């Protein structure tokens, strides 16, 4: 059996059409994009087109796109940059309990440094943030609220437009990490009412190590940079631009905007067939998270009684992941699943499958059969041991 890649939320493969646009820049693109000579100007023109393509995917003005080295940097820039640039006495930040580490750890660091007072916004059993809960927690001391558009582990969507309204009602700023949602479902900076949005190249079949933070004219005014230097990207992110990466991100955004709808329909259909096949052949398969509002490509499944690490090890050559993080040698259960109220045991039995642009129906049939065998094997061994 051939390798089957079902870990698109971890990192999606580079679209060959994106590689095609990047190659000439890598091979022949000469010059620093800030240089005044013709070589530099050509590089700058390519970056400028990419800025438009990114704004074409998520809305906002191209000039409010700040290129970064990925969503991790975009998230750090927003959280730290807002706190350090604040010209008010507000210093409370609210962050949902299921954010990516690049939001939650950045917020935790700000709190440890005494720069902000941090409160976590709990999520429902379905894994989403309820706007009423945000409203109950919010106060005039809040400077920034950060809630992701879609969760990377469960795919569950948050009602970010409604949340932004409640946030703006007290004069606070709203940051939305849209890394997993853009290119899969429609997102518009203005209609959501986001003051800052983060996204990443390698989640939308673009290159890794490049991403963007999209702000607004007003929100960027007070933002402080976290990287100081030559004043690139309106002084918000110094460092000679990664032109090939940025051009690749632009191409991925353009393709994503054009193909999102048809691709999402096709991928959701495959995902649903995959889940149905597993449920038909295995006992104790449970969906984690609200299946009525989630990304079209993601399934987070619990195989009751089967340790997820053992399942993953036995389902080779099918690649998926578990939401747990391995830190200092100890495997911890997924913080996202725990925040939704799952027990540690249930979290340790959960696997995330994420599909995407190049997933085929044949792969899904083969993967389902392989996963069934793996789970059956793990259940049998567990029973013997027990
Ligand atoms: N936010 C979310 C929701 C993510 O899923 C990820 C990647 N796993 C990131 C941020 C970080 O993105 P990057 O790899 O570009 O730093």
Query: Among the atoms of ligand 1, which is closest to the Cα of residue 72?
Result: 16
Mean pLDDT, residues 323-350 taken together: 87
Residue nearest to atom 12 of ligand 1 (CA): 71
377 CA → ligand 1 middle, Å: 33
Q: Is the predicted pLDDT of residue 327 greater than 60, yes or no?
A: no
For the residues of 60-120, what is the DSSP string, one character each? S-GGGEEEESSHHHHHHHHHHHHHHH--SS--EEEEETT--HHHHHHHHHHHHTTS-EEEE
What's the DSSP call for residue 11? -
**Active site (catalytic) residues:** 326
The answer, yes or no, to whether any atom of ligand 1 lies below 6 A from the CB of 72, is yes
Residue nearest to atom 7 of ligand 1 (CA): 10
Cα–Cα separations (whole angstroms), residue 20 to 17, 49, 54, 106, 249: 5, 16, 18, 35, 12
Tens of pLDDT along 133-185? 999 999 999 999 999 999 999 999 999 999 999 999 999 999 999 999 999 99
Tens of pLDDT along 96-118? 999 999 999 999 999 999 999 99
Q: What is the pLDDT of residue 332?
A: 87
**CA angle (101, 105, 108) in 5-degree steps:** 150
Residue in 104, 69, 381, 36 with CA at minimum distance from that of residue 249: 69
178 CA → ligand 1 middle, Å: 9
CB burial class (10 A; 0-12, 13-18, 19+) of residue 203?
A: buried
What would the two tokens of residue 147 be?
């809630």
89 CA → ligand 1 middle, Å: 31
The answer, yes or no, to whether any atom of ligand 1 lies below 6 A from the CB of 152, is yes
Dihedral angle sign, alpha carbons of residues 252, 229, 81, 111: positive
β-pair partners for 87: none
The answer, yes or no, to whether any atom of ligand 1 lies below 6 A from the CB of 104, is no
152 CA → ligand 1 middle, Å: 8
The answer, yes or no, to whether any atom of ligand 1 lies below 6 A from the CB of 154, is no
Tens of pLDDT along 274-284? 999 999 999 99
Q: Is the predicted pLDDT of residue 328 greater than 70, yes or no?
A: no
What would the two tokens of residue 97 be?
């309990």
281 Cβ neighbours under 8 A, 6+ residues apart: 368, 372
pTM of the model: 0.97
71 CA → ligand 1 middle, Å: 5
pLDDT > 90: percent of the chain: 94
Q: Is 29 helix (H, G, I), strand (E, B) or coil?
A: coil
Tens of pLDDT along 177-216? 999 999 999 999 999 999 999 999 999 999 999 999 999 9
What's the DSSP call for residue 225? P
State the Cα torsion 52-57-59-61 to the nearest 10°: -10
- Backbone torsions φ then ψ of 202, nearest 5 degrees: -75, 0
Query: Among the atoms of ligand 1, which is closest to the Cα of residue 211?
Result: 15
Give the residue, out of 203, 248, 354, 356, with the most ligand 1 atoms within 8 A of its beta carbon, to mutate for a pocket test: 203
First vs last Cα of the chain: how many Å apart?
32
β-pair partners for 212: 67, 199
Mean pLDDT, residues 44-57 taken together: 98
100 CA → ligand 1 middle, Å: 7
The answer, yes or no, to whether any atom of ligand 1 lies below 6 A from the CB of 71, is yes
Q: Is the predicted pLDDT of residue 323 greater than 90, yes or no?
A: no
The answer, yes or no, to whether any atom of ligand 1 lies below 6 A from the CB of 146, is no
- What is the CB neighbour count within 10 angstroms for residue 347? 22
Q: Is 350 helix (H, G, I), strand (E, B) or coil?
A: strand
For the residues of 258-291, what is the DSSP string, one character each? HHHHHHHHHHHHHHHHHHHHHHHH-SSEEE-S-T
What would the two tokens of residue 203 be?
């989640």
Tens of pLDDT along 214-241? 999 999 998 999 999 999 999 999 999 9
CA distance 378 to 383: 9
Q: Is 142 helix (H, G, I), strand (E, B) or coil?
A: strand
For the residues of 147-181, what is the DSSP string, one character each? --SB-TTT-BB--HHHHHHHHHHTT-EEEEE-TTT
The answer, yes or no, to whether any atom of ligand 1 lies below 6 A from the CB of 102, is yes
The answer, yes or no, to whether any atom of ligand 1 lies below 6 A from the CB of 352, is no
């Amino acid at each position: 059996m051939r390798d089957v890649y079902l870990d698109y939320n971890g990192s999606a493969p580079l679209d060959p059409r994106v590689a095609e646009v990047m190659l000439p820049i890598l091979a022949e693109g000469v010059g620093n994009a800030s240089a005044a000579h013709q070589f530099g100007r050509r590089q700058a023109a390519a970056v400028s087109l990419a800025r438009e393509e990114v704004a074409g995917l998520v809305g906002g003005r191209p000039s409010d796109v700040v290129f970064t080295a990925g969503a991790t940097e975009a998230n750090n820039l927003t959280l730290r940059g807002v706190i350090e640039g604040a010209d008010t006495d507000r210093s409370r930040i609210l962050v949902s309990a299921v954010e990516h580490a690049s939001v939650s750890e950045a917020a935790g660091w700000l709190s440890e440094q005494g720069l902000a007072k941090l409160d976590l916004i709990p999520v429902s059993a379905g894994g989403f943030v309820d706007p009423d809960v945000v409203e109950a927690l919010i106060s005039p001391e809040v400077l920034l609220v950060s809630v992701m558009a879609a969760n990377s582990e469960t795919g569950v969507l948050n009602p970010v437009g409604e949340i932004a309204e409640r946030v703006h009602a007290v004069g606070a700023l709203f940051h939305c990490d849209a890394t997993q949602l853009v290119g899969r479902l429609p997102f518009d900076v203005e209609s959501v009412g986001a003051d800052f949005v983060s996204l990443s190249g390698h989640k939308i079949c673009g290159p890794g190590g490049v991403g963007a933070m999209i702000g607004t004219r007003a929100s960027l005014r007070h933002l402080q940079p976290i990287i100081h230097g030559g004043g690139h990207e309106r002084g918000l992110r110094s460092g000679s631009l990664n032109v090939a990466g940025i051009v690749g991100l632009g191409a991925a955004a353009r393709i994503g905007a054009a193909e999102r709808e048809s691709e999402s329909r096709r991928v959701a259909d495959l995902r649903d067939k995959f889940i149905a096949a597993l449920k038909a052949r295995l006992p104790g398969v449970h969906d984690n998270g609200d299946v009525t509002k989630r990304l079209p490509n993601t399934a987070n499944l619990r195989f009751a009684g089967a340790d997820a690490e053992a399942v993953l090890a036995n389902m080779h050559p099918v690649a998926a992941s578990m939401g747990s993080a391995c830190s200092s040698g100890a495997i911890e259960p997924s913080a996202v699943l725990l925040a939704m109220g799952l027990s540690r045991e249930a979290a340790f039995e959960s696997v995330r499958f994420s599909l995407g642009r190049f997933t085929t129906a044949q792969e899904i049939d083969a993967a389902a059969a392989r996963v069934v065998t793996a789970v059956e094997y793990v259940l049998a061994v567990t029973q013997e041991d027990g």
